[in-house]
Structure 1
Amino acid sequence: MHQGVLYAFMAAALFGASTPFAKLLIGQVPPVMLAGLLYLGSGLGLSVWYGVRRLQAHDKQAGTGHLVAADLPWLGAAIVSGGIAGPMLLMFGLAQTPASTASLLLNMEGVMTALLAWFIFKENYDRRIVLGMLAIILAGVLLSWQQMPEFGVPWGPLAIVAACLCWAIDNNLTRRISASDAVQIASIKGLVAGSVNLGLALMLGAQLPGLQKIMAAGLIGFCGYGVSLVLFVLALRHLGSARTGAYFSIAPFVGAAISLLLLNDTVGLLFWLAAALMAVGIWLHLTERHEHPHTHQELAHTHSHRHDQHHQHEHDFEWDGSEPHTHQHRHLPITHSHAHYPDIHHQHSH
């Protein structure tokens, strides 16, 4: 299995698993407060991880690959869009929208992520990828379809769609900096989004829960939001936005399976139909083979890599031959043909 696909599946599994555990706290912690604690747990946990890793760095290559000044506008826009505006719009929408409608509308994130990736950020796609995405989207619709949606006043549903658009923008902006340190990106996102959401909850009059609930929310946030986001960024690095979003769409099925085992939830015919559609969509993506002659323009960047066909360069420092390793390196122009994804090295036009 391709490394990027594995990252996406692992990210989806962790995020999906966090949902039923977070549901156990929803009746005890206000939603906005819970969102803040989950994000903060993510940010604080990853900051510790990042700090320990820096302290353990011994060689010259370690410590490189971190965010640079050129990355900050992309990261800032991603945080504002996905970490601040998205959750606020979602909370506003949930307050005015039936749960069945809200869960149905949340599937728009994958759709919008793909549309932005294809038509704004120019990721390549073909009929097979489009059909796979449609199968995955339909699976999500069936999974969340509890009853016929009742939209009522339109502002709530519009706010939820706007939240999905914010997260889709976040996904595509984060892809632009996915070659940088994934732990650093995710920790900053968690700290900023957590602080803003927690501050909003306190402004709205919410009270901090007991220490036990805070610790539980923090642990769920670290695993389901933090580590999951690190893996999601790594998947973006290898697959691009649209394909990562497609594989990440298995998250609701992971949550449903855990709910079935731990919370004694039941599933009906729609769940199994959705699972079959999801399997078809993922199969279409997994069996994709995109291959054609393409040209790599000269490029200098920093990320973890091995000396493969795309990384044939000299080192201006003493290197012990360890793989993978991280340092700034330059790609010279090259034209060749092989199967590839729209990763950080393949962002050419077609």
Structure 2
Amino acid sequence: MTGNRFSALLAPQRIGWVAALVTVAVWTTWITTSRMAMQGAQPLDGALLAFLRFGTAGVLLAPFWWRFRIIPKQSPKLALLGLLCAGLPYQLLVLEGLHHAPAAEAGPLLTGSLPLFIALLSATVLGEKLGRGRIAGVAFITVGVAFIMGHGLMNLEGGSWRGHLLVLGGALAWSIYTVAFRYSRLSGVEAAAFVSFWSVVLLVPVAGWRVLEGLQTTAPSLLLRHVLIQGVMAGVLALLIFTLALRHIGAARTTAVTALTPVTVTLVAVMLLGEVPSTLELLGCALVVFGVLVTSGVLRLPSRPSLLAGAMPSANLPSR
């Protein structure tokens, strides 16, 4: 009996669901702690946080980038350039965005706009045809993003609109990485190793003095905390557990779970950071989550909408 219970706990689908939930927890932790780091009594330099993230990941993933001798020979050069967008451009844009915009707004914008940008890039760059459900999901996300940004745009003096634009820039950078990854001929871990190594190489000559100053003036306990959060959790663990979820429960179900990230970020921001989102921003978060679910195919629109038939969207989970 004990052996059967242990086997049930290790069932592939159960592992996949747990991995997806842990991914949400890691993403939520990274966004909220980064906001705290950028807005604390002694704000940390974004260059320092980027160094801690990619430096730690580069050390942990050294066997992989060493195996392909820094530059993977099997990967197209244009794809490798696209992969680098997930390094310094993504990290610095998001961190600077969190300096200006509350986590309760930045979190939904970052995680929710990814399907929007990926769909647009797939259609314009790759020539993919978007289905009706995907187009509808992108429309919901777009309206949700507009609702979240509406308050900041109506109050230009507050400066949160700057954070919104920077975070959207970060989401675009990650979307470019996602499209480039499909043509890189690398595994997820190899891509992370490549991005981590070259991010450190590019960061040191540009902002090495800022990193050195930050290492000297920041308390060791705080540095260790961000080594764990930025480097181990966000830089390595998030990738591994997200890949695990994809392998065991498929992309649609994984996306359905990770669509909870805007909700969890908003809740944590309210409880720990004292942020109070407006009704319009909460409505925007709901539209973003709904749009992500529709875009991923978890929520399906009726094939033939009919007012007489009273057709309503269904919520069937597709199999792998």
**TM-score above 0.5, yes or no:** yes
Q: Using a 3 Å threshold, how does the CA distance of structure 1 residues 274 and 34 change in structure 2: closer, same or farther?
A: same
Q: Find the aligned partners of 2:24 and 2:53 in 1 and give their Cα distance.
A: 16
Q: Find the aligned partners of 1:131 and 1:186 in 2 and give their Cα distance.
A: 32
Partner AA of 1:172 in structure 2: V
Q: Find the aligned partners of 1:4 and 1:117 in 2 and give their Cα distance.
A: 27
Say whether residues 1:192 and 2:198 are aligned partners: yes
Contact 1:151–1:157 (Cα < 8 Å) also in 2: no
Q: How far did residue 72 of structure 1 move?
A: 6.3
Q: Find the aligned partners of 1:32 and 1:137 in 2 and give their Cα distance.
A: 31
Q: Using a 3 Å threshold, how does the CA distance of structure 1 residues 176 and 10 change in structure 2: closer, same or farther?
A: farther
Q: How far did residue 236 of structure 1 move?
A: 8.0
SS across alignment from 1:168: helix
Say whether residues 1:125 and 2:130 are aligned partners: yes
SS across alignment from 2:153: coil
Q: How far did residue 248 of structure 1 move?
A: 5.3
Q: Greater strand percent: which structure? A: 1
Residue matched to 1:24: 36
Q: Return 5+ residue gaps in structure 1 as ranges.
A: 52-62, 290-338, 342-350
**Equivalent of 2:238, from 225, 228, 240?**
228
Q: Using a 3 Å threshold, how does the CA distance of structure 1 residues 174 and 271 change in structure 2: closer, same or farther?
A: same
Residues paired across the two proteins, number: 271
TM-score (norm 2): 0.62
Q: CA RMSD in A?
A: 4.6
Q: Using a 3 Å threshold, how does the CA distance of structure 1 residues 160 and 17 change in structure 2: closer, same or farther?
A: closer
TM-score (norm 1): 0.58
Q: Find the aligned partners of 1:159 and 1:266 in 2 and give their Cα distance.
A: 21
Contact 2:259–2:293 (Cα < 8 Å) also in 1: no
Q: Using a 3 Å threshold, how does the CA distance of structure 1 residues 148 and 287 change in structure 2: closer, same or farther?
A: closer
Q: Using a 3 Å threshold, how does the CA distance of structure 1 residues 24 and 246 change in structure 2: closer, same or farther?
A: same
Q: How far did residue 245 of structure 1 move?
A: 8.1
Q: Find the aligned partners of 1:79 and 1:212 in 2 and give their Cα distance.
A: 32
Identity of aligned residues (%): 19
Q: Find the aligned partners of 2:286 and 2:92 in 1 and give their Cα distance.
A: 34
Residue matched to 2:120: 115
Residue matched to 1:170: 177
SS across alignment from 1:71: coil
Residue matched to 1:210: 219
Q: Find the aligned partners of 2:224 and 2:59 in 1 and give their Cα distance.
A: 12
Q: Find the aligned partners of 1:5 and 1:73 in 2 and give their Cα distance.
A: 36
Contact 1:108–1:164 (Cα < 8 Å) also in 2: yes
Q: How far did residue 150 of structure 1 move?
A: 6.4
Q: Greater helix percent: which structure? A: 2
